[in-house]
Each structure stands twice: as structure tokens, then as C-alpha cells.
Chain A
Amino acid sequence: MNFSIILLGKLFSKLITLFNLGGGATWPGHIALILNENFIKEILKNSETKIILVAGTNGKTTTSKIIQHILKSDNRTTLHNASGANLLNGIASTLILNSNFFGKIGKDFAVLEVDENTLPLALNQLTPDFLVLLNLFRDQLDRYGEVNTIAQNWKKAIEKLPKKTTLILNANDPVIAFLKGNGQTFYFGLDEKSNFSQVEDWADSVFCPKCNSKLVFTKVYFSHIGVYVCKNCEFKTPLPDLTTSYYPLLGVYNKYNTLAAVLTIKISGIDEKVIDKTLKSFGPAFGRQEKIKVNGKNIQIFLSKNPTGFNESLRTVKNARSVLFALNDRIPDGRDVSWIWDIDFESFSKNFRSIIVTGDRTYDIALRLKYASFKNVIAEKELKKSLALSIRKTNQNETLYILPTYSAMLEIRKLLTGKGIL
């Protein structure tokens, strides 16, 4: 059965690529799962490939990419699912493309990123050797539901995992640190001066996941990520096993992605000397602080798809002179754009010389900026025109910073590089 599925899937994928139909990363798996809903389970059952599963609202792609980069530098063979293919059908497709016709995978490691809602389903199909959990923030409430609901579903699924699964958890996110499996658990977290002393009033997880009392934060690195204690039940930040590293990317959130990746690598038995050396040669995942040069001008793209991500991007580019915000409301972005009112524009400097806004919801983001007292905002609905205008308004020695939602990021990259998604 699986032999024919793989044959069909590989053939299908070739046809998709050949005729440039798009969706080659998900369709073969989609069909495989219709034909055999236990396809993933059966393929992985007898495999010796170590599975690293990465989940969280922000940072999945970057963390997976760092892990993979280090593994490859240590001459380990890996497979991974392409960004945007992080549902079960994407995982199944990845397995089809990376196995031989008899379903044998023959790679040392599978680095798989999974969507928040998919994690419990994925854990029914496969048992990871390492489960890396980054954070949970509000994101696309219309699609994912509320943070607490996701946290509950994760908790139930993780409690059922066998001893063989090692958990790698963010000590600074209360709902993540609260999770318990049956195997070993390691924590990563920061131990440095914090940006804030208080959580912002809209942060997601400021209550004790154990007893619902309000947590007391002594350090806040961003949103609800920090050092906390519950005065009622004594639940508190676990002592991290890793607090520092060389950081190849800007931004506090990328420190967490790096720590998560490095801790995973260390536990999986890779020589420590390899790590520092290879981190220095790491380049960002597409659209995540990716630098592109157009007409001699520097452009950097900061995918910003939810309030926490957007705030952290703004903090990272705070000295920018020229910015472009691109807000779409398609399915990968979330249909609801209410979240832009949770971005803390009010706290950021108004020093931008050129602010241009674009996307399906150009005027929603323009309106948000009006109420945050930003002046001289140019609204240009046409993405292509907005991009050309932004580049024109950026001086030779400056960088144009683009903060797009997911689908806007894909479009912008396509326009800038002419290369499409990868």
C-alpha cells in the first residue's frame, strides 16, 4: 500500500514541479493521508532517523534552520519540511520525497516544524526523540483559537509521550515551562538585563498556569517572556540549562531561537566545538531578517505576523529611517486584522523619515498609525508600487526595513528576487 502511495506521491510531485503548479510541498502528502491515514506512523515505525520536532507561535522556521545548519556542518544527513508545509500533509509530503520506494528514509535526522494546532495530531502519528517548544502567543485567533486552549491541548498530548522523548522547553514562557512529559526535560532561557520590569497589559500568559493567580515578574524580556514566580503555589521559572550562546541574528526573540537550537544540538550529542564555529556562518531563513540588495540599496525583511513578532521587529529596527509595513488578511495571515491594535506603536519613536503602508488591508494599518500619531504615512494599495516607492525613498547608505505578514512577505520576496519562495 505505502509503496504505491510513495510512487504516486513522487510522481505527483514531479508533475507539479514540471508544470509549475505550486503546492508541491503539501499535495502528495495530502493524497497519501487520504489513502492511508496512518501513513506517517507506518513510514516512521521502523526508521532509525532521529526526529526533532519544533513547535511554537514564533521562531519555528528559524530554530529549525539553525538546528539543520549545525547538523549539516557536522556531516549529518537531514530532512526537513519546507516552511509553510507544517501541517500533517506537509510532513507526509516531506517523508514521501525523502524516502526510497520502500519507505526507507536513511537520514540521520528529521527536523520537522509543526503548526500549533497540528502538534497534538502529529504526536499521535510520530514519537519525536526531541520535542522543542518555543513559546505561545496570540496569533490568528480566527484560526488557532485562544492561547489557553492550545496550551491545554499541548499539555494533554505531551503527558502521553513515552520516556524516549526529551523535552526542550523555554523556561521564560510560563505556559511552556509548565509542560511535563515522561522523559528528560531541559530548559533554555535568558539570564541578562531585561528591557522591562513589567508585563504589558495585553500580554497573553500573565497568570499562573497551575493555580490561575497572577504571576509576579522580576524580569520581562518581551511580552510575557521573562522571569516569574507565583506567590500562591510557588510555580516559578525553572533553572535554565543554557542561558547564553553566540547569536547569529538580531533581536531578543532570535536569542531564544538560537538557545533552543543549540541546547537541542548539545543534547543530541554533537561535538560542542562544531557549534560556535558553524553558528557564525549561519544565514537567516527566507523573510526572517533576510537581506536583499536592489539597485544598490539595502533591504531587510522582517516577517511580522502577530503583535509580539511585530513589536520585536519594531524594537530591532528602531533606528530605521525608511520602513514599509505590508498587511494582508489571507488565510496564512489570518482573516482578522484586529491584532494590529495590540502592536505597541505608541511606544516606538516616530523618527521614520519614510513610512509606507500596503497590502490587502492598507487602510487598516494606515488607520492604526493615524491613532498612534505617526505623520506623513503614505498608503499605497498596490504592493508593487509601494515597493518601488519605498526603494526610491531610501537613501544609498540607508536600509529599507520591510515588515510584512506571511503572504505579503512571499509576494515581496518574489518581486525582489524574482525567485519565488525558495
Chain B
Amino acid sequence: MNYKLTIGWLYPELMSTYGDRGNIIVLKKRCEWRNIGVQVLNLNEGFKTEDLNKCDLLFMGGAQDRQQKIVSIDLRKKAKMLSSLIEQGVPGLYICGAYQFLGKYYKEADGTTIKGLGMFDLYTENPGENIERLIGNVVVDSKFGRLIGFENHGGRTYLGENVKPLGKVLKGYGNNGEDKTEGAIYKNSFGSYFHGPILPKNPKLADHLIRLALEKKYGSPIKLSPIENSIEDKARKTIAKRLNINL
């Protein structure tokens, strides 16, 4: 069977600051290497709400504050559709700024509160400009093996009862530097602070997203053909060794 996937990339022009477009490159290539037809739909400011319906998999990255403001105005108009897709289990990956924005609210360093889209049961607070940002290499234990990445965020995120963490922090800070949680899972949507970007060095998670998208679209269990990951393994080992962690 010839599988086809459409990946919706939310705001590539605005929300692509920390090399997060690497996630799109990885999803696209890992489909192509398996002869899965793949199309990336760029959903920029002012995109048609119906376009969201064409997407089998969603991705949104982080951004600078100014860009984030522009996005929040645009995305609010499309919140209903996005929310219904997330509820229906359309898989998605939301990194850093996007992850925070899908929560209930974000309290800025100066105390201003920005309402989130409320799709994830979590909230984020920035403790103030004089408090250190959470920056560095990070490793967490997850269902998809040990995830390796780089985090760089001022906001501290706290999870509610209706979401599960993506992983347990082994090295680094994760959601808030206190409770050892990192990221969030709600249905088939994943939020995380991981840059690096997250998917190149964590191919299991990349393949999980592709499989979820295919199964959701075609309605039957799917087994993906294996891909050789030796460079990935070596890149992972470099960081693990430095942090004294076994993989």
C-alpha cells in the first residue's frame, strides 16, 4: 500500500528559532526513506483554518517573544479547529513556546499574564528576569527510550491532572527544575522543552509520531520498516558519556 502523509508546520516563518525546523526535516526524510509519500504544508500567519483539516501530523516550534505575540493573535482565531483535532487524536509535536501556548496561561517575567489556548492542562510562570534561565543539555527517561536534547527556557511549567509528563528528568531541568517532569502528553499530542532539535537524536520518538499519524489516517496498526540509526546512536552516546548516563 502507498501511504501518504501531510505534515502541517504551524508558523514556520515565525516559530522557528532554535533549529526546530530540524524536526520537520527528520519527519519528512524518515517518511521518504520508507517510501511514504509526504507533503509539508506551511501554515503561516493568516492561513486558512480549513487547511488544518488536511493535516495528518502537526508541528509547531518556539520563537522570540515578539513573534509569539503575532502568532497568538492569529492562532486564537483557529483555536476551535486545532482543539478539535487534538481531541480527536491527531498527533502533534509542540516545542517550547508552542508547548507553553497550548497550556492555560503564561505569566511573563513582569507579571503580565497571557491566556493560553487551554488545550493542555498545564500553566507556565516566569519567575522574573533576575532568576536564571534553565539552560543546558538534558536527558529524560520516557516510553521512547532516553530522550536527549538541549533546553533553554525562562518559564517554569507545572502539569495538571489531565496530562502525563513526556519523561522523567535524569539530567538537566525539564518543566520547572523542581518536580523532575519534562514535557507533557495529551492523547496523541506531545509538548516538550527539548531543542537540539528533539527528533534527530531521538529517532524512536520521530517514528512513533509517524506511526501514530499513519494509524490514525488509515485506521489499522502499522509496522514501520527499520532505518539504520548508527550515527544517531553515536551522537546520543557523545552526550550520554559526558553526562555520565547509560543509554
Contacting pair B137 A335 (CB below 8 A)? yes
Contact with A along B150-161 (1 / 0, CB 8 A): 101000000000
Q: A371–B69 Cα gap in the complex (Å)? A: 32
Indicate which residue in A148, A206, A372, A379 contacts B65 across the interface (CB closer than 8 Å). Answer: A148
Q: In chain B, residues 4-44, which have Cβ atoms closer than 8 Å to a Cβ of chain A?
A: 12-13, 16-22, 25-26, 29, 42
- Which of B80-88, B114-122, B184-192, B228-236 lies on the face that meets chain A? B228-236
User: For the complex, would chain B's binding face be called helix, strand, loop or mixed by DSSP majority?
Assistant: mixed
Indicate which residue in A149, A214, A338, A361 contacts B195 across the interface (CB closer than 8 Å). Answer: A338
Q: For A366, what are the chain B residues with a Cβ–Cβ distance below 8 Å? A: 231, 234-235
Contacting pair B150 A338 (CB below 8 A)? yes
- Which of A138-146, A318-326, A390-398 lies on the face that meets chain B? A138-146
- Is B45 at the interface (CB under 8 A from chain A)? yes
Contacting pair B13 A201 (CB below 8 A)? yes
Nearest CB of chain B from residue A214's CB, rounded to whole Å: 7
The residue in chain A whose Cβ has the minimal distance to the Cβ of B232 is A367
Q: For A207, what are the chain B residues with a Cβ–Cβ distance below 8 Å? A: 66-67, 70
Give the most central of A138, A141, A206, A212: most B CB within 10 Å: A141
Nearest CB of chain B from residue A173's CB, rounded to whole Å: 16
Contacting pair A367 B19 (CB below 8 A)? no
Contacting pair A363 B235 (CB below 8 A)? yes
Indicate which residue in A146, A147, A339, A364 contacts B235 across the interface (CB closer than 8 Å). Answer: A364
Contacting pair A206 B19 (CB below 8 A)? no
Q: A414–B70 Cα gap in the complex (Å)? A: 47
- Is A370 at the interface (CB under 8 A from chain B)? yes
Q: Given A201-B42, A207-B70, A336-B195, are A367 and B18 neighbors across the interface (CB < 8 Å)?
A: no
Give the most central of A337, A340, A342: most B CB within 10 Å: A342
Contacting pair A338 B16 (CB below 8 A)? no
Contacting pair A371 B64 (CB below 8 A)? no
Q: For A371, what are the chain B residues with a Cβ–Cβ distance below 8 Å? A: 22, 25-26, 29, 200
Q: A141–B18 Cα gap in the complex (Å)? A: 8
Q: A360–B16 Cα gap in the complex (Å)? A: 25
Q: Tell me the count of chain A residues lying within 8 A, CB to CB, of chain B.
A: 35
Contacting pair A142 B135 (CB below 8 A)? yes
Contacting pair A201 B12 (CB below 8 A)? yes
The residue in chain A whose Cβ has the minimal distance to the Cβ of B42 is A201
Q: For B19, what are the chain A residues with a Cβ–Cβ distance below 8 Å? A: 307, 338-342
Q: For B135, what are the chain A residues with a Cβ–Cβ distance below 8 Å? A: 142, 335-336
- Is B201 at the interface (CB under 8 A from chain A)? yes
Q: For B232, what are the chain A residues with a Cβ–Cβ distance below 8 Å? A: 367
Q: For B231, what are the chain A residues with a Cβ–Cβ distance below 8 Å? A: 363, 366-367, 370, 379
Q: A346–B197 Cα gap in the complex (Å)? A: 17
Indicate which residue in B64, B70, B150, B200 contacts A367 across the interface (CB closer than 8 Å). Answer: B200
- Is B2 at the interface (CB under 8 A from chain A)? no
The 8 A-B residue pairs with the shortest CB-CB distance in the complex, in nearest-first order = A341-B22, A338-B19, A341-B19, A363-B235, A363-B234, A146-B64, A338-B195, A201-B12
